[in-house]
Each structure stands twice: as structure tokens, then as C-alpha cells.
Amino acid sequence: MDINALYNEWLEKATGDPDLTAELESIKGKDDEILDRFYRSLEFGTAGLRGVIGAGTNRMNIYTVGRATQGLSDFLNKNYENPSIAIGYDSRIKSDYFSKEAASVLAANGIKVYIYEELEPTPCLSFAIRYFHTSSGIILTASHNPAKYNGYKCYNPKGYQMTDEEAAETYDFIQKVDYFTGIKKVDFDEAVADGRIEYIGQEVIDAFLDEVQKQCINPDIVKAAGLKVIYTPLNGTGNKPVRQILDRIGIDKVYVVPEQENPDGNFPTCPFPNPEIKQVFEIGLEMNKKIGADILLATDPDCDRVGIAVPDSSGELVLMSGNEVGAMLLNYILSERKAKGNLPDSAIAVKSFVSTDLAEVIAKKYNCTFKNLLTGFKYIGELITNLEEEGRASDFVMGFEESYGYLAGTHARDKDAVVASMLICEMAAYYKMKGMNLVDVMNSLYDEFGYYNNTVESYTFEGAAGMEKMAGIMDTLRANSPAEIAGYKVVAVSDYKTSKTTFADGKTEAIDLPKSNVLAFALDGGNKVIVRPSGTEPKIKAYITAIGNSKAEAAAVADKLVLAANEFMK
């Protein structure tokens, strides 16, 4: 591949967006800048596309979006008779622009398009697919990435992200499309006028909120508790739906962080709009000095994930982890539904296998079947769909991932921060009426089940060299599997790429899950280290589980395991 020839072709032909023309002109003669934009094409996988916004094959722009959409159109026309699609988008830079570009390509290929009229949460896109019975769905979002990123996620007719097979076939079609000559396109406004593109109306949003509201377990308690909530949508899509659902269940004291209320893809007060990061709560924490809220909520830009901060008994605000919130929510839902007599005998809860094992112990207390699946909410969506096809959809209680993604109900097949925000507030109200805050609740679970310290360490590897470094780290760990980590004996190594667990005595066992580039090291005492390259970012993540008889003991074990994980990444 001649990088300079490719650059010159784009300089000549990429004239559809003046931002791209200016960027291409600005990097003339800068070999490193040109290489970074053209050394590869953005890869299309089960998470679709994700990359920095800008010019080149390794960037998110109208040509990479158009090419992906043409390939998707070819896939849909091959596999479906009279295909249709739903499209959503978030507040990110150019998300609305890219969504219209995609709609114009799909319409030109004879595919009926339903598109949201304004930005909406990712779970609303999942809901719309099933509402309209479309063949696919697209949402333009980069979730919680920094402002320079955007992305393009594709869904199947079931409402969850494409499977490996669907994504691979779509990618085969994409690779056959020329960026400049291979993309069919019609005028967006003309296609709206003649019905090929149809706006999604408020009735669909209302239907979505109706389904979310059905998951409320104790509405009377919520109204009586007088809960005070500070909420930030982090300049994203959650502002309207989250406030609407909290109002519906009787929470009328909701204070929105004004600097982060309205959509803004530059995220001026939170450059990393990720509810896992304390910085996104800083303005809300300052507001709270006057308000004295019971809980602070932050949803990420596409409102599929939510983080919380709550006051402890001394009034100090504590940020709670995704694992802690997942464990508390599961315990609350199971205990309350059992008390009310509406917990199914064959209830099922599920989490990603890198999330806290505490959830599995809680589920056992309530005789709830528990499943561990690969990371990626599509696997939870697939499980729900399988249950539905067996006539058992009502058996699904809850699913979650440690990265702050939760789902109760079957209205969506992706994580949903709207329903999660509602249930978290309901849970806080319920325990407030019992004189407990959520820190008290979490400590009571630790006291009952043991202290689980779950830590996630992220290691970033940017650019072409970074991708090679990531691959090398995984290859080295596979070839030279450690016998112990931080002084703890490795009792089993699970390689999800080969679908095999190898125990310390040499025995092996098959892993009945799709293949994935993940290594899991099970250690003495129930401790774990799981190493997994991100599917959407240039990162390797180490998921560490440390168990102790006390909080301090578990934290000390976690510290040792983090240091060991750091050594892996050198």
C-alpha cells in the first residue's frame, strides 16, 4: 500500500466536507501525520466502527461512514427481502451529520429508513428496531470516549449488536466498496419527502418510557421518600428521557447540572465524559454543597451507562463502582420481587465474566440461575432473545457489566441507563425509608457475603506501534503463562481464544462461549486476573478480583495484583 498515493487521492477527491479538505492540506509533507491517518482502514467488527474524527481511511468521516453504510446496504439487500433500518445518534461532533449521510446511502439502495428526529439514547435505538421490526439498526456514537472520537454501531433485527458472523459478512461487503466511486447516495430531504426516510415520532419515545416504567417495583415508596437527585447527562442524550422517567415515578426533586445539561460534543467541562471517572462529578459535587442530595447520577453521552455518587453516614460523597451498583441492584430486585411474590421460579440473572463474582453469590441466595457471558452486551441481548423464543422472557431479571451498564426488562437488548437510573433512584428511596444510604447497603452485602475488591486497570497503546505492542503482550502471556501472580498460585488459565481452560495439574476443560482474545488467570483464594484488549479503544484492560475477610485485606491483595498486572504491560 502506497500511503502517499492514498493521501494524494484523498486530497484530490475528498471534497464533500470542507473540514476534511483543510485537514488534508494542513498535513502536507508531514509523514507521521499522513501515516497515522492512512496506515489502515477503520476495522468493522461487532462494535462497528470507532475512531478519531478527521480525514483519512483511519478516521471517522463522511467517506468512511458512507463506505460502511454501502457495505451494510449490500449485506441487507442480500439477506433480507424489502429490508428496513432504524437510525439514532448522540451529541457527538458530526453525529447528526453522519446519521443523515448513512440514511441517504441506505435510501439510495432501496432500504426503508426510520431515523430519530433528535438525539436519543442508544437503548432507544435498540427499542426502535423491535418496534418497527426492522432488519438492522445504526447508532452514531462513541459512547464515553473523548470528544475527538465518534463511532458507528450496527444492530441486527433482534435489537442487539451484530454477531461475529453478521459483522464479518458485512465487513466483506464493505471492503469491496471504493471510498469515492462505490457509494450510492440520494438527497436526504428528497428521500424524506417521498417516504423513503421517515422520522421516528414521539409516540415511540413514549412507548419506550412506558416499558421502562413497568420495571418500577415500589412506586409508592419512591413518592413517599422525597428523594433529592442531582443529575448530569454529561452534555449527551439522557437529559430528556432520564428526567421524564424520574418524574413519572414521583421524583420531583431533580437538579440538573446546568453546565452539562445541553448537548455539546466538545464536552467542555468533562473532556472524558465517562461516568467511571470522578472528574465528571466535580461540578455536581460542588452543587451538592447547597442542595444536600441523596444521590448524584451521571449518564454517558449515549445514555447507556450510568455512574453514581452517594453520601455516607458522615455526609462525605462516595463514588460507587459499576460492580457495586450491579450487585446492589441485583440484590434489591431479587429481594423485593421475592417479597412481593413475583420472582419467577426459574429466574435468570447474568453478567459479563469480568464483572464481580459477588453477584453470583447473591443470586444463589434467592435460587436465581446465574450466567456469565463474554464482555459485550450483545451476549446478554442474545440470551434475552433466546429466552423470549422459548416463551421465557419474563424469567430474565437483570443483566449488567462492570463498566456501568445495566438492564432490567426486555424492552431493549442493550444496556440502558434510563431504566438503570430509575431503578437506582428507586433503590435509594427504598433504603432511605429504612434509614440507610447506599454505602450502608453495600457494606451490609460485604458483611454478609465477603469483601470483593474489583479493580480495572487500563493501559493505552496509541497508533500503529501501539497495536503491535498490544498483540505482543497477549502473545507473550499465552506463550509464557505464569505459574503464580504476586505470590498467588495460578490454579487455572482460561484462554477464550482457544476455548480451553488448563488447570495446574494439566487437566483441560472446554469453554462453551464464542472465541475471544482474552486470558483469565484464576488464583488461590478465589482471586483473579483477566487480561483483555478492548474491542473499541487502543487499550488492554486488566480486570482484578481480590477477596478478603475485611475491606483492608481485600484492598491489600488488589494492590499486589495491580503491580503484577503492570509488569505484564511493559
3 state DSSP class of 27:
coil
DSSP state of 214: T
Phi, psi of 227 (to 5 degrees): -65, 135
Concerning whether 421 is annotated as a catalytic residue, the answer is: no
Report in angstroms the alpha-carbon separations of 393 from 380, 387, 438, 515. 12, 5, 30, 26
Helices (H) and strands (E) in the chain, counts: 19, 23
Cα–Cα distance, 399 to 396 (Å, whole number): 8
Cα–Cα distance, 485 to 521 (Å, whole number): 9
- Among 41, 73, 135, 143, which one carries the catalytic annotation? 143
3 state DSSP class of 391:
coil
| C-alpha angle 234-308-211 in degrees, rounded to nearest 5 | 80
Cα–Cα distance, 89 to 462 (Å, whole number): 26
Three cell numbers at 447?
A: 458483611
Beta bridge partners of 533: 540
Cα–Cα distance, 530 to 365 (Å, whole number): 26
CB 58 within 8 Å of CB 40: yes
* CA-based torsion, 259, 261, 267, 271: positive or negative: positive
Q: Which of 416, 145, 534 is nearest to 301 (CA)?
A: 145
Report in angstroms the alpha-carbon separations of 474 from 98, 253, 463, 520, 531. 35, 49, 17, 12, 8
* CA-based torsion, 178, 182, 184, 188: positive or negative: positive
Given its phi and psi angles, is residue 174 left (phi above 0), alpha (psi -120 to 50 degrees) or beta?
A: alpha
CB 349 within 8 Å of CB 399: yes
Three cell numbers at 354?
A: 469480568
Which parts of 432-561 are beta strand (E)?
451-460, 484-485, 488-495, 500-503, 508-510, 519-523, 528-533, 539-548
Cα–Cα distance, 240 to 374 (Å, whole number): 32
Three cell numbers at 273?
A: 465524559
CB 324 within 8 Å of CB 296: no
Helix H, strand E, coil C: the string for 310-371 is EECCCCCEEEECHHHHHHHHHHHHHHHHHHHCCCCCCCEEEEECCCCCHHHHHHHHCCCEEE
Cα–Cα distance, 423 to 407 (Å, whole number): 10
What stretch of H or E contains 306? strand 306-311
**Catalytic residue annotation:** 143
